[in-house]
Structure 1
Amino acid sequence: MKFKLILLFLLLNICFVAFSQDKQSEKSQKQDITVTEKGLIKVSIMYPYAEGKTFNMEYYETKHMPMVAGFLGSNLVKYTIEKGLSSGIPNQPLPFMAIGTFYIKSLSEYQAAIAPNRDAIRADFVNYTNVSPVILVSEVIK
């Protein structure tokens, strides 16, 4: 009887460990899916740093980017906002004050959504910056 209880206990532990590893594997796979954007289109809006130029990060984060994201609808996977801190080379000027990035499924859908709203988007620039952005459209490879 004691042997059967020990055997049962060992079997339960083995099942528990196997179940835990399966759950960790599933969790890891889900994280890989959220981290990997392979095949998505990435629209980077970069605001170059220059002496005398300004950027209101709070407005950009709470008003401008959500407004543009709203225009993109279900084509938008996610968006990010980055605040420039320094150059990658010591003692060199900051290359960009900020970068806003949209990850989208379809470039043609993006263009169709932005085109009728272009004037509203541009008119909002004065509310947060006096910089003309540089825009790069790219495909995420990895």
Structure 2
Amino acid sequence: METINQKITPFLWFDKNAEEAVNFYISVFKDAKIKTVQRVNGAVLTIAFELNGQEFVALNGGPMFKFTEAVSFVIYCKDQGEIDYFWKSLAEGGQEQQCGWLKDKFGLSWQVVPANIDKLLNPGDPQKTDRAMQALMKMVKLDIKALQEA
């Protein structure tokens, strides 16, 4: 396996569809690449890949473990167009959830949020913060304009 360049790397356990999942993630994220593929008897065992500079390893480890919301990834988006893109791409075949959360078709949880989510939810006025949080709690896919207007 190629040398990993970061101190901590998420290791994603799949039953037997790691290659399909990695190819899906590579197609969704523009700045993405497969780094190495390790095979055993011709079958994929692990795939090291990178999404926007973040390194991951996918493993075909069998059906013993499934993804849960206990571990998830947040995508910080520069604008509503980027939120819409990632939401549509990752939610296809998956499950939309509240507050910008979704599960992709492989069961991995993502939250798709604006890059300035902290500022939108904490504008410095307690009443505005309360209204913004109430607006967020009613949303599935996040709407930047609605959060700004809350």
Structure-1-length-normalised TM-score: 0.30
Q: Tell me which structure has the larger Cα radius of gyration.
A: 1
Say which structure is richer in helix. Answer: 1
Relative contact order: is structure 1 or structure 2 higher (C-alpha 8 Å, sep ≥ 6)? Answer: 1
